[in-house]
Structure 1
Amino acid sequence: MKELVEVIAKSLVENPDEVVVTETEKEDAIVVELKVGASDMGKVIGRQGRIAKAIRTVVKAASSKSPKKVIVDILQ
């Protein structure tokens, strides 16, 4: 899931070298944290969070076979 979020985020931002994705595994979930540059935050979130919601939807669809829930957090 980490690679998927990284590819999506890098295609959206102007500074792809500032994109950092970390993946943490917990008991019942996998947490994917996405950090982008301050100037690119709006591009990743989108108007009213539409882009962020779309990223989460794609990741959820890709992880449907996994028994664990995947959570995507966008950090500043």
Structure 2
Amino acid sequence: MKELIETIVSALVEYPEEVRVISREEDDKITFILSVNKEDMGKVIGKQGRVAKAIRTVVYAAGSSQHKKIYLEISE
């Protein structure tokens, strides 16, 4: 899942070498924390959050086979 997020986001940003994904796993959920270069933040979020929502949709669909809730947070 981590590789999927990195692949999607790296194609969108100007500084793909600065894309970082950290995962935190708890009992019933997995949280992926995405960080990118400050200049690329707008590209990842998109107008009215449309790009971020699309990334989340793909990640949630890919993780539906796991029996845990998956969250994607975008941090600076």
TM-score range, shorter chain: over 0.9
Write the distance in 2 (CA, Å) between the matches of 1:25 and 1:74. 17
Q: Please give the TM-score of this superposition, normalised by the length of structure 2.
A: 0.97
| Structure 1 counterpart SS, 2:64 | coil
SS at match of 2:65: coil
Matched, 1:29 2:29: yes
Question: Which consecutive residues of structure 1, in runs of 5 or more, have no partner in the other structure?
Answer: none
Percent of matched pairs sharing the same residue? 55
Cα RMSD (Å): 0.5
Output aligned runs, 1:28-47, within 5 Å: 28-47=28-47
Letter in 2 for 1:52: A
Q: How many residues align?
A: 76
Structure 2 residue ranges without an equivalent (≥5)? none
4+ aligned runs moved over 6 Å, structure 1: none
**What is the TM-score with the length of structure 1 in the denominator?**
0.97
